[in-house]
């Protein structure tokens, strides 16, 4: 849980579109696109695509609230779900190709998935046998993102196209990994600001897999809902800490260089793509909550109330690593999580963190099965995630309160152009 800023959740403010009556001779439309507005915040799509089902041919469609109208775009330079703002609900799913399925079946699957993602992100029903779960809702900032695991390339006869950046991650001392909930041939990330919209997309993706692939593992997460706070702010995690203040921002000159594979990068099919490290990090909340607030702040290196560094100032004030108290002790402890994870303490290593929290009930020992679905994006995990995690392994104060229980690394190709599907340059190149 590196001390880097999570993309802000923002309070939607798009005005609802005007209502439109359905002509009597057109029958009942499946879903109606009522209007669009401009792009807002970090969501790199348009907001304002108000969508709804008409209840009867002569009944006017009611305008949606602003949260429902927010829309991210499927087609683009990069896949959605990377630089978009944090969403309230998320599902992470890994699939393995079925026995006998290869490159041809994978291409057909990605073609189906891409078309379904395009439709659902636009607020339309899926093309076949839609479940109607999202019938009354708009797009609700839905994003669907696709990636390939290390094993995918052997299964499809594309080993020569496998990036070196996708080599397996090294072992870390904090790892207690469940192999059944790690890795996978294919990875899908789903996020939305409405739980039913997210679930609707999950079911559509699972159904589209058909006989070509089977679910290897699935994890479900959440974040604070947009509009729940008086103003947009960095999210809190289940430890109650403001989690991540130093995320790379799209406005920074070197953002693309750190997060995305360059246009002329290798391999060519990964141009404008990124690499996602996915870790299920269990928080040992019973132990954590026994600490005083002061002790918790010393572990993190930041104030719990507002996320400011213990050296003073506000959340965004640069941390003074040399500041000492009256006794000569460092104000930010030498093993504080926020000190260790700073890019300037790790050779400039940086990653874009975009996580979800999770809570899967109580385990057999009677303690919460809860924590963070850690997702980070970088142009090369060997220069992003790996050096930071190695540094954490050597003495992070937070390590005794967390446990890494599953792990995956996925190559996420660039966005699909109009008329293309995600991964087409790999599968048909």
**The two structure tokens encoding residue 367:** 């303690």
**Is 243 a known active-site residue?**
yes
> What is the widest separation between alpha-carbon atoms in the chain?
82
Catalytic entry in 243, 256, 298, 396: 243
Helix (H, G, I), strand (E, B) or coil at 86: coil
Asked if 14 and 70 touch (Cβ cutoff 8 Å), the reply is: yes
Q: Would you report the helix, strand and coil content of the chain in percent, each value rounded to 5?
A: 25, 20, 55
Q: Cα separation of 15 and 303, whole Å?
A: 37
Choose among 423, 411, 415: nearest CA to 165.
411
Q: Cα separation of 17 and 407, whole Å?
A: 43
Q: Cα separation of 111 and 225, whole Å?
A: 32
CA dihedral sign of residues 288, 292, 295, 297 = positive
Cis peptide, bond prior to residue 148, ω within 30 of zero: no
Helix (H, G, I), strand (E, B) or coil at 70: strand
Choose among 275, 255, 256, 259: nearest CA to 267.
275
Active site residues per annotation: 243
């Amino acid at each position: 849980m590196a001390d880097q800023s999570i993309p802000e959740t923002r309070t939607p403010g798009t005005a609802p579109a005007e209502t439109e009556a359905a002509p009597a001779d057109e029958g009942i439309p499946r879903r109606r696109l009522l209007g669009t507005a401009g792009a807002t915040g970090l969501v790199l799509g348009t907001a304002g695509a108000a969508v709804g089902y008409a209840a009867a041919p002569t009944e006017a469609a009611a305008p949606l609230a602003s949260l429902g109208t927010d829309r991210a775009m499927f087609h683009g330079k990069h896949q959605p779900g990377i630089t978009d703002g944090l969403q309230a609900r998320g599902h992470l799913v890994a699939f393995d190709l079925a026995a006998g399925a290869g490159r041809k079946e994978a291409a057909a699957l990605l073609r189906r998935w891409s078309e379904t993602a395009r439709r659902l992100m636009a607020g339309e029903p899926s093309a076949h046998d839609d479940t109607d779960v999202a019938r009354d809702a708009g797009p609700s900032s839905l994003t669907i993102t696709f990636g390939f695991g290390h094993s995918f390339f052997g299964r499809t006869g594309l080993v020569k196209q496998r990036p070196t950046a996708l080599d397996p991650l090294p072992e870390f001392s904090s790892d207690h990994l469940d192999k059944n909930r790690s890795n996978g041939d294919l990875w899908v990330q789903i996020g939305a600001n409405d739980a039913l919209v997210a679930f609707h997309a999950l079911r559509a993706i699972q159904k589209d897999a058909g006989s070509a692939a089977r679910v290897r593992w699935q994890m479900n997460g959440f974040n604070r809902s947009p509009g729940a706070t008086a103003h947009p702010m960095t999210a809190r995690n289940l430890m109650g800490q403001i989690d991540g203040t130093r995320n790379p921002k799209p406005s920074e000159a070197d953002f693309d260089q750190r997060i995305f594979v360059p246009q002329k990068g290798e391999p060519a099919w990964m141009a404008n793509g990124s690499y996602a490290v996915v870790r299920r990090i269990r928080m040992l909340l019973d132990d954590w909550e026994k600490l005083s607030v002061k002790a918790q702040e010393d572990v993190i290196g930041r104030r719990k109330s507002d996320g400011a560094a213990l050296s003073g100032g506000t959340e965004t004030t640069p941390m003074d690593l040399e500041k000492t108290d009256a006794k000569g002790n460092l104000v930010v402890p030498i093993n504080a999580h926020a000190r260790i994870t700073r890019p300037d303490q790790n050779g400039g290593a940086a990653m874009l963190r975009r996580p979800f929290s999770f809570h899967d009930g109580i385990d057999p020992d009677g303690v919460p099965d809860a924590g963070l679905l850690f997702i980070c994006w970088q142009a090369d995990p060997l220069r992003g995630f790996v050096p930071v995690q190695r540094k954490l392994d050597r003495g992070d104060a937070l390590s005794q309160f967390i446990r890494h229980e599953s792990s995956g690394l996925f190559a996420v190709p660039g966005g699909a152009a109009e008329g293309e599907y995600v991964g087409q340059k790999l599968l048909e190149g």
